Structure 1
Amino acid sequence: MKEFILLLAEIINTLHDFIFAVTRQAGWNLTDKDLHLWVFGIVGILAFLAVNVVFKYLAQYSITAISFIYTFTVLLVIVFAIEIQQKITGRGNMEFHDAVISLWGFILFFAGYLVIKGILYFIKKLFRKNSKRE
């Protein structure tokens, strides 16, 4: 188990270093916190979308709130696992603020999702209302 955890930590660290190097080469000069926000925002919203599809398939009604709670819980575990592995391996800084900003990334992307979903809902409702008048 220890070897597996160390292997996962090495993969994550290598990926972190790669993303950090690519963003530096692109001239973005992102901080570690910026990187956490974007990576976890994107990973989080993709995880949410996958979970939501599966749950909607299994359920006869929308369970968006349950999907959000489930995804947020999984991300919470992943975020703290990464912070712990940073402490264990000495690569990166184990900071509570990193964990918070990572989760904010997901919350921000989820809020964007809800806004888009709400706009589409009201557009559909408007078209239904106009089609009934004709």
Structure 2
Amino acid sequence: MDETTQPARGAPIARWLLGLGLLVAFAAGGNLVQHLLDLPIPGSTIGMIALLILLATPVREPLIRLVSPAADSLIAVLPLLLVPLAVGIVGSFGPLAEHALALAAALVIGWLVTFLTAAFVADLLMRRMRRP
């Protein structure tokens, strides 16, 4: 096999870096929007919402091809990315304990709303798929 028919060894790494760069660019753009407009929403959330909106447009396919290698590997290590959050919560357990009842209520209500919304959307999608 000569060099022209052999896939480049660095191609998967380059695609991964490009995908990661796009994810970081959307997060940074969201941070910029959040800072400029002084919104109470985290900038990274704004960036991911912008990415979600783009994924609902015709540019979906090339965007998915670019972002998916990095997104897949980040999802695989997601539990490790949440460790600092858990350590921070345990580290500030004293002040959180004062509001334990309110936090528990917020967690239960948030879980219930999320569960019911997911069930409603799943039911709606299943009904649409059954229609001819």
Greater radius of gyration (CA) = 2
Higher helix fraction (1 or 2)? 1
TM-score range, shorter chain: 0.3 to 0.5
Bigger relative contact order (CA 8 A; separation at least 6):
1
